[in-house]
Amino acid sequence: MERLLEIMAHLRDPEKGCPWDRKQTFATIAPYTIEEAYEVADAIERGDMDELRDELGDLLFQVVFHAQMAREAGEFEFADVVEAICEKMRRRHPHVFGGAEAGSAEAQARAWERHKSAERQERAGGASPSLLDGVTQALPALARSEKLQRRAARGGFDWPDVSGVFAKIHEELDEVAAELESGGSPERIADEIGDLLFACVNLARHAGVDAETALAAGNRKFERRFRGVEQRIAARGQRMEELGLEELESHWRAVKLG
């Protein structure tokens, strides 16, 4: 770890460091941090442990990069980051590091959320915080929708069963159709489609499915099948642009049946 910290400090050295690394800021590095987290998730999804090792290193480097910039600004150092997370983990796991009784995984998840809620209230200076406080704006839209819904559900703001979710999806779908049929403005159509997507995320949540993961899998499935359609057409010496929708759909069905 010390070696990595030394490398990072050397890269940021005002005189002998790397010109690219020296000119970076928290804002310019943040997109790379997010990208590296996604690449970690992708390696896990593919079950590639060698790749995962490398991607975890890249993600760790992002933490070190931010900590080095904070050190230069006189804000905090890497050791402070480590100390803060160690203290947080001990505080949020009293059943492991304290005298609290350990329960089921579900009970521990509820306790974790109570600890986080208490921390949010403390940060609010004793004022009543919103259940939605702390749901970062930087999350992907699907993941943020799910977190917002989970938070709201803790206050009882949730459908008792999935039938209510299905009804809401049909309602939102009808509203999208009405806007399209009436020639609604792009803003109104986008607004209604947003409501429809939010309702679909709610369905995933009620079904116990992570919406972001499900859509990522759907993307991969579409890509795999579409490439299969392209290969079938190319093998026949044809071009997609030359075929009608009915014939393209026929190829699609053939690839699905595989």
- pLDDT tens-digit profile of 122-165? 666 666 678 898 888 878 899 999 999 999 998 999 999 999 99
Radius of gyration of the chain (CA): 25
pLDDT, mean of residues 90-115: 74
pLDDT score recorded for residue 111 = 67
- CATH class of the domain at 2-92: mainly alpha
Whether 113 has a pLDDT exceeding 90, the answer reads no
pLDDT, mean of residues 77-91: 95
pLDDT score recorded for residue 140 = 87
For residue 100, what pLDDT band results from cuts at 50, 70 and 90?
confident
Whether 120 has a pLDDT exceeding 80, the answer reads no
Report the C-alpha gap between 35 and 41 in whole angstroms: 10
pLDDT score recorded for residue 117 = 67
Whether 35 has a pLDDT exceeding 70, the answer reads yes
Domain ranges of the chain: 2-92, 213-257
Determine which of 90-104, 150-164, 235-249 has the lowest per-residue pLDDT on average: 90-104
pLDDT score recorded for residue 215 = 92
3-class SS string, the chain: CHHHHHHHHHHCCCCCCCHHHHHCCHHHHHHHHHHHHHHHHHHHHHCCHHHHHHHHHHHHHHHHHHHHHHHHCCCCCHHHHHHHHHHHHHHHCHHHHCCCCCCCHHHHHHHHHHHHHHHHHHHCCCCCCCCCCCCCCCCCHHHHHHHHHHHHHHCCCCCCCHHHHHHHHHHHHHHHHHHHHCCCCHHHHHHHHHHHHHHHHHHHHHCCCCHHHHHHHHHHHHHHHHHHHHHHHHHCCCCHHHCCHHHHHHHHHHHHHC
pLDDT score recorded for residue 127 = 65
CB 239 within 8 A of CB 233: yes
Looking at the chain, the whole-number percentage of residues with pLDDT higher than 90 is 74
Average pLDDT of the chain to the nearest whole number: 91
Whether 74 has a pLDDT exceeding 90, the answer reads yes
pLDDT, mean of residues 159-175: 96
pLDDT, tens digit, for every residue of 56-68?
999 999 999 999 9
pLDDT, mean of residues 216-231: 95
Whether 92 has a pLDDT exceeding 90, the answer reads no
Q: What is the pTM of this model?
A: 0.66
Whether 46 has a pLDDT exceeding 70, the answer reads yes
